[in-house]
Amino acid sequence: MQHTLDTQALRRTLGQFATGITVVTTLDAAGQPCGLTVNSFNAVSLEPPLVVWSLSAQASLREAFEHCAFYAVNVLSAEQQDVSQRFASKQADRFAGLEWDAGIGGVPLLRNCCAHFQLRNTQRHEGGDHLMFISAVEAFERFEKAPLIYFSGAYRRLAEV
C-alpha cells in the first residue's frame, strides 16, 4: 500500500538529528578546485576504513565528483559558518580569497577545520533523489577545534557540559 508523506514535515523531522557540517572538495576535469557544503557524512566501517556522504542527483558538481579519483571531506569548526554558507551558495568561485592546502591528488584541504578526510572515490549508489558515495579513507587529520553543528534548520555550537 502506497501512501504520500509530507516531505516538508519529513525534512523538519530529519532536522531534529544534529549533524556536523562539512565541505566536500575535489578538482574538476579542468583541474580547478570545487566543493560544496554537505551534512550527510557518516562512518561506514573501520575495517576497511570507509565513509559515506550523499549528493543531490541534480547537483551542478555531480559530474566532477563522479569522475574524480580523490576528494576530501573537510569537517568545519565552529568559526567557519561563513565557509559553510559560501560553499552552500551559488557563488561562481567559492575558493576566491580562501586559503587551502593540496592533499592527495591535489584535492583542496580547507584551513582551520576540525578534521580532514582524504578519500578515494570507490563506490557510488543511486538512492532516490541522491547519489551516495562510499569512499575509502586514504588519510585523515584531526585538529582540536569545536565543531560547527546544524540542528533544526540552524547553525549551532556545542555547549560545555
80-101 pLDDT per residue, tens: 999 999 999 988 899 999 999 9
Query: Whole-number mean pLDDT of the chain?
Result: 91
Query: In the chain, which residue ranges form alpha helices assigned H by DSSP?
Result: 7-14, 62-67, 81-88
Contact assessment for residue 108 and residue 32, using Cβ atoms and an 8 Å cutoff: no
DSSP letters, 126-161, are EETTEEEEEEEEEEEEE-S-PBEEEETTEEEEPPP-
Distance of CA 97 to the CA centre of its chain: 20
pLDDT digits (tens, 9 = 90+) for 34-90: 999 998 899 999 999 999 999 988 888 889 999 999 999 999 999 999 999 999 998
Predicted structure pTM score? 0.91
pLDDT digits (tens, 9 = 90+) for 118-142: 999 998 888 777 899 999 999 999 9
C-alpha cell belonging to residue 86:
559560501
Alpha carbon distance 55, 113 (integer Å): 21
Tell me how many helices (H) and strands (E) the chain has.
3, 12
pLDDT of residue 6: 86
pLDDT of residue 2: 59
pLDDT digits (tens, 9 = 90+) for 1-47: 556 888 888 888 877 878 899 999 999 999 999 999 998 899 999 99
Fold of 21-145: Pnp Oxidase; Chain A (2.30.110)
